[in-house]
Structure 1
Amino acid sequence: MYLIQLLLPLYDNDQQALPKSSFRAVRDELIERFGGLTTYSRVPASGYWLEEGDNAVHDDSVVYEVMVNDLDRGWWADYRAELERRFRQESLVIRAHALTLL
């Protein structure tokens, strides 16, 4: 089993707030495909990284999680590319963690 995490930015690359409808659409798509979803959206996660040498960049994100039995890397790669387009991002993080239920 895998835990898939999608880090969805609250703002596009021009620092424009993304519409709530974009987040609802992802929520609905994931629930329909995987039967459930957990969101961490009340307090955004803050990410920081360096671009072009010493230029610090900041992004606020919400986290969506789904659990899947099988990891379909091709589907997730295509979905990530689609979300990058929708959320107007150069790159968007979707990560998978091997999961053992206790």
Structure 2
Amino acid sequence: MHLIQLFLPLYDNKHQALPGSLFNEVRQELVERFGGLTAFSRAPVKGLWQDNDDTVQDELVIYEVMAKTLDRSWWADYRATLETRFRQEQIVVRTHEISLL
């Protein structure tokens, strides 16, 4: 079993708030494809990283889905789609192999 996490920014690269409809669309797509979703969206998480000598910060929500198999090709395409929709250079999508207890 795989746990797939999507780190979605609340603001684009020009610091403009992204519309709620984008997040609703992603939620709907993931629920339809994977049968469920967990959203960490009440208090945005903060992401920090170094870009040359500057520290860059993002406010994010995290969506998680579980899948029996991992279709890397589908996820690569979906990540590219999300990067376009959310006007980002890169959106982090990561996976962990998990066992259900």
- TM-score band by shorter chain is over 0.9
Distance in 1 of aligned mates of 2:49 and 2:32: 34
* % identical aligned pairs: 62
Shift of 1:98: 0.3
Give the aligned partner of residue 59 of structure 1. Answer: 58
Distance in 1 of aligned mates of 2:13 and 2:90: 10
Kindly tell me the number of residue pairs found equivalent between the two proteins.
Answer: 101
Give the aligned partner of residue 3 of structure 2. Answer: 3
> Structure 1 runs of 4+ off > 2 angstroms?
none
> What is the DSSP-based 3-state SS (H/G/I as helix, E as strand, rest coil) of the residue aligned with 1:50?
strand
Distance in 2 of aligned mates of 1:32 and 1:86: 19
Runs (5+) with no aligned partner, structure 2: none
Give the aligned partner of residue 35 of structure 2. Answer: 35
Distance in 2 of aligned mates of 1:4 and 1:42: 19
> What is the DSSP-based 3-state SS (H/G/I as helix, E as strand, rest coil) of the residue aligned with 1:57?
strand
TM-score of the aligned structures, taking structure 2 as reference length? 0.99
> What is the DSSP-based 3-state SS (H/G/I as helix, E as strand, rest coil) of the residue aligned with 1:66?
strand
Distance in 2 of aligned mates of 1:34 and 1:92: 20
Runs (5+) with no aligned partner, structure 1: none
